[in-house]
Homo-oligomer: A and B are copies of this chain.
Amino acid sequence: MRNVTKDNITDVFMDYMSKEADPRMHEVMGSLVKHLHDFARETNLTHDEWRTGIAFLEGCAAIETEDRHEFVLASDVLGLSSLVDMLHSSVDATSSSVLGPFHISGAPPLAVGGDMKRHFGGPILVAEGTIKDTDGNPISGAQLDIWQTAPNGLYASQDDDQDRFSFHGLMTVGADGRYAFSTVKPVEYTVPTDGPVGDILRACGRHPWRPSHLHYIVTAPGYNSLVTEIFPSDDPYLDQDTVFGVRDDLVMKYVEKPAVEFPDGMEISGQVNEPFLYVEFDVMLSTADTLKS
């Protein structure tokens, strides 16, 4: 089209796409560009604002490393990551929640009943439950990839003072589907605000806090993988998680128990002489044919 105008440019873009291009590419790219153009038209986006947007992307590029995923963080605080999770969560399974930018692969094995607390101080938490199918049958051999913050609010990947895989563990459950581990209660923390995403939060007048949570990735052959989080019901940030990760069924009561009730068969560093927190959380996985459309 020779005479491109602000009113026909979206149609011109659609005409440029080849009829032979993949139909799903047509659909996704067409919708993306239609919304991008409508955004610019509706806001009458100025050159200065366009330059601010380009500078935001270039600022993310400048800070991006193997351990610092600023584009993922941007997707998280804009709600896109959570929305994609919710679009593809299973009807009857446990809700999914954001992966976040801090997951690292290759965590060391952690036995059922194992200890992630090690030498760290802070309130002891015991988490246990069963990995089940949606009929309530245990899933033998399911794998649980667990990670969380240290008591200083940092993930191992953010903190040179921690071992590479501190507060990370990979647990394989037995025929009863049961998982269990002891750890330190995770703490509330702020997402990183020293990059361009921090500028967005400040400009919007938003805080950077997330409620405390345990991260799980649960996988089993023949089932849909689940990325999720577990939140304590008394957390002050439950109603304002800056990455939109909280779902009703992921909010659990952490019960305080006396030292004498510490469960048998748990491997923990040192003797438990203090009250501890306990949460029971079963995880239900769906099979591939039960995804929401």
Q: Residues of A with Cβ closer than 8 Å to B?
A: 1-6, 9-10, 12-13, 16-22, 25, 27-29, 31-33, 35-47, 49-50, 54, 57-58, 60-62, 64, 69, 71-72, 75, 78-88, 200, 203-206, 238-242, 244-248, 251, 293
Contact = CB atoms under 8 A, between A and B. Distances in A.
A2 B239 contact: yes
A230 to B, nearest CB: 14
Contact of A248 (B3, B37, B69): B3
Nearest to A7: B86
Contact of A79 (B9, B27, B44, B82): B9
How many subunits of this chain does the assembly comprise?
2
Contacts of A72: 54
Given A4-B246, A72-B54, A10 B79 contact: yes
A204 B1 CA distance: 17
B75 A240 contact: no
Classify the secondary structure of A's interface with B: helix
> Quick one: which of A2, A42, A71, A88 has the most chain B CB within 10 A?
A2
Contacts of A5: 86
5 contacts: A4-B247, A6-B87, A18-B206, A37-B83, A58-B71
A113 B111 CA distance: 81
Given A44-B293, A54-B71, A88-B47, A79 B33 contact: yes
Contacts of A62: 61
A201 to B, nearest CB: 9
A35 B84 CA distance: 14
Contacts of A293: 44
Contacts of A69: 54
A139 B248 CA distance: 67
A59 to B, nearest CB: 10
User: Which 8 pairs from chain A and chain B are nearest by CB?
Assistant: A18-B205, A61-B61, A35-B35, A6-B86, A21-B205, A57-B71, A35-B39, A3-B248
